[in-house]
Amino acid sequence: MGTKHHENRLEYEETELRLGLPGGCLKREFSQTIDLKLNLNASMASSSSPHHQQEKITAKPPAKAQVVGWPPVRSFRKNTLAVQKDGSGGESGAAAAFIKVSLDGAPYLRKVDLKMYNSYQQLSEALGKMFTSSTIGDCGVKELMCESKLIDLLNGSDYVPTYQDKDGDWMLVGDVPWGMFVDSCKRLRIMKSSEAIGLGIVRFDCPFTQKTPRAVEKCKNRA
């Protein structure tokens, strides 16, 4: 199967348009996707194409569940589904929690499923991956091309990860235990520190990696 066969059989070889075989760029993509597949963090930006002629993945990696948009169940349905486990008769809560994520300066939003992660650290790494593979724009964030740099930035003082909870209040990420955060977070916004201070969301420490408590002012802002 593959190029050898179709070159012999197809007439369209004779079409006026001739294109070279996919170049090096393409090959890199396929091997990259295999690496990504074995990496347990979800990556929304990955054009993950686990299908490849000879290199069909036979193992069932946990990462498979994290291929974007697979299985093809609407996020609306996933968010509202109650899962019964072990016939216990109780509901263990929604199977998924899709929320929108925005990064100040990035031109587009993302959707993440918070139930895919078990800790703030995992979420931070996933967000790092998500926003690195794209050009962010002119807002002085061009240096965010390298994943580790983004994580540094998230952990540094220039950006503040905030979230909007069920009551509509904007809170600092990292204040509450992970489980409670997942249940109450409605959307995530990684905003510039300057703006956060202006809105009255104060931070003293990095929320992602350290557990030291810090004072937070709730503010009723709809960003």
Contacts to another protein by CB under 8 A: 1-3, 5-6, 9-10, 12, 15, 17, 19-20, 22-23, 25-26, 29, 44-45, 47-53, 56-57, 60, 62, 64-65, 68-78, 80-85, 87, 91, 95-96, 100, 107-111, 133-135, 137
Distances (CA, A) of 99 to 79, 120, 137: 10, 15, 23
Strands 170-172 and 110-113: unpaired
Q: How far is the CB of 190 from another protein (least distance, A)?
A: 15
Using an 8 Å Cβ cutoff, are 128 and 154 in contact? yes
Q: How far is the CB of 21 from another protein (least distance, A)?
A: 8
By beta-carbon proximity to another protein, the closer residue of 92 and 210 is: 92
Beta carbon of residue 164, minimum distance to another protein (angstroms, whole number): 12
What radius of gyration, in Å, describes the C-alpha atoms of the chain? 21
User: Residue 38 has which token pair?
Assistant: 């074995």
Nearest Cα neighbor of 111 from 187, 170, 168 is: 187
Task: Give 70 or 204: the residue with its C-beta nearer to another protein.
Answer: 70
Q: Which is nearer to another protein, 99 or 172 (CB)?
A: 99
Q: How far is the CB of 209 from another protein (least distance, A)?
A: 27
Instruction: Give the Å distances, CA to CA, from 134 to 147, 153, 161, 209, 222.
Output: 11, 16, 19, 25, 27
Rounded least distance, CB 36 to another protein, Å: 11
Q: How far is the CB of 129 from another protein (least distance, A)?
A: 13
State the nearest-atom distance from the C-beta of 71 to another protein, in Å: 5
At how many degrees (to 10) do helices 147-155 and 120-132 cross?
130
What are the tokens at 26?
């393409």
Residue with Cβ nearer another protein (44 or 216): 44
Nearer to another protein, 16 or 212 (CB): 16
The dihedral over CA atoms of 85, 87, 90, 94, expressed in degrees to the nearest 10, equals 30
Nearer to another protein, 17 or 215 (CB): 17
Region of 89 on the Ramachandran plot (φ > 0 left; ψ -120 to 50 alpha; else beta): left
Spatial CA neighbour of 205 closest among 181, 179, 173, 178: 173
Q: Which is nearer to another protein, 21 or 215 (CB)?
A: 21
DSSP state of 137: -
